Amino acid sequence: MESNLVEAVALGGGQELSPWALFLQADWVVKTVMIMLILASVWCWAIIFEKVRRLRRLAAQADAFEDSFWSGGSLDDLYDEVGKNPGDPMSSVFAAAMREWRRSTVRPGVQRTEGRASLQQRIERVMQVTLGREMMQIERYMPFLASVGSTAPFIGLFGTVWGIMNSFAAIAGSKSTNLTVVAPGIAEALFATALGLIAAIPAVVAYNKLSNDLNRYATRLEAFSSEFGAILSRQLEEEV
């Protein structure tokens, strides 16, 4: 049976079944599907490498900032050091809160007229807005991974269906069910399916892993903002 299959393919007009040959011999619709899936896969891997590298850098920067923050030094000195050019989301949250703190406390009598609760609410609001803006930047392109993971198999399936339709058309045109007639079209169809899976599987796995890492980092930022808000609240009560 296997020898007959090899002989039939060998008689198919010199057609090859390598991936590159299948791409060149494919119908323009199937070829378009293949190109789309290849580009999507390349772009997904670029996003994955960028996110992994950035999350590692952000974790290291957060560690360094927390070491400085909890070292017992002056918060004003730390703000003067990082406030003008925050290098990571955690320092940006800190700088935004300190900026609002200074703006509200440098004016004489501001705490008596505005009230501690109002100032604390503004500081917490500023930190939450800054945190949300920073997380939006970090999570950029994540929806693309989710879209590729959910749609790439169906795009590949479309190429598969189109390739099988071409195979049946070839059978009808040649009035022959010889394997040499249907093999190229079926191989193209299966290759499109494979490309769809190649694009979708890494995208799904990476999306789940990166989403968990981003959620942990967001939780870390929220915990820091809550702790810093409590510190400013205590300091505000001591100064009034």
pLDDT, tens only, 168-227? 776 777 666 666 666 666 777 788 889 999 999 999 999 999 999 999 999 999 999 999
The C-alpha atoms of residue 191 and residue 22 are separated, in whole angstroms, by: 8
Q: How far is CA 62 from CA 130, 166, 213, 230, in A?
A: 15, 56, 14, 19
Q: What does pTM read for this prediction?
A: 0.80
Residues 6 or more apart from 59 whose CB is under 8 A from it?
A: 217
The candidate with the shortest Cα–Cα distance to 155, out of 45, 32, 46, is 32
Indicate the residue type of 13: G
At residue 17, the 3 state secondary structure works out as: coil
Q: Under a CB-based contact definition with an 8 Å cutoff, are residues 153 and 222 in contact? A: no
CB atoms within 10 A of CB 86: 18
pLDDT digits (tens, 9 = 90+) for 112-133: 445 667 878 888 899 999 999 9
d(CA 37, CA 24): 15
